[in-house]
Chains A and B, each alone.
Chain A
Amino acid sequence: GQNIDQPTEMTATEGAIVQINCTYQTSGFNGLFWYQQHAGEAPTFLSYNVLDGLEEKGRFSSFLSRSKGYSYLLLKELQMKDSASYLCAATDSNYQLIWGAGTKLIIKP
């Protein structure tokens, strides 16, 4: 079956760095997305990886290893507004999005 695993909840301190991991098993693979979702709002796009390696975009970076079925989202210089859920989603051979359950990130002062 198809499956996405990511931690349920993480806590970090303002100004610090946090890494949110995601492992996936899909029928075929056509890329992996990270989305941010604040409570009561729709997800917003953060990153997309289809090739191995690190993609850096400001304070956020995303890494992919296709051979390991593994990705992570790295958030630097954490701000209180980064408190949100972070959703990992992989696309399968039919380009259908397979969603993880999301990681709730709590930022403490």
Chain B
Amino acid sequence: GAVVSQHPSRVICKSGTSVKIECRSLDFQATTMFWYRQFPKKSLMLMATSNEGSKATYEQGVEKDKFLINHASLTLSTLTVTSAHPEDSSFYICSARIGTSNYGYTFGSGTRLTVV
């Protein structure tokens, strides 16, 4: 149980275009979704935390106008990279806390974004 489905797994886009990444919780309600990016051989960097029905909380240094996060329902959160540039190329991963306990965080399978 507690599966988060993330799509797409890989995407290549041209500079200046926008890309949407979706994360769906399949068998539970994800009240809170965390969005991370990860550069090669580096750890996960938290970008933002989204709560269903409210605005996302962005970490310092993350441009909220560039990385649009929507969490309109308890089973779907999206990250849109707007006007993508090559430096946005990275591995993006979503994660949801399972219920209200601190015990479980489940991760999506990740999206490899390449901007050319």
Contacts and interface: CB of A to CB of B under 8 A. Distances in A.
5 contacts: A33-B105, A43-B93, A97-B34, A97-B105, A99-B43
A91 B6 CA distance: 24
A87 B36 CA distance: 14
Contacts of B106: 45
Given A40-B91, A40-B112, A45 B104 contact: yes
A42 B6 CA distance: 10
Interface of B: 6, 34, 41-46, 49, 91, 93, 97, 102-110, 112
A29 to B, nearest CB: 11
Contacts, number: 44
A97 B49 CA distance: 11
Interface string A82-109: 0000010001000111011110100000
A48 B103 contact: yes
Most buried by A among B34, B43, B91, B107: B43
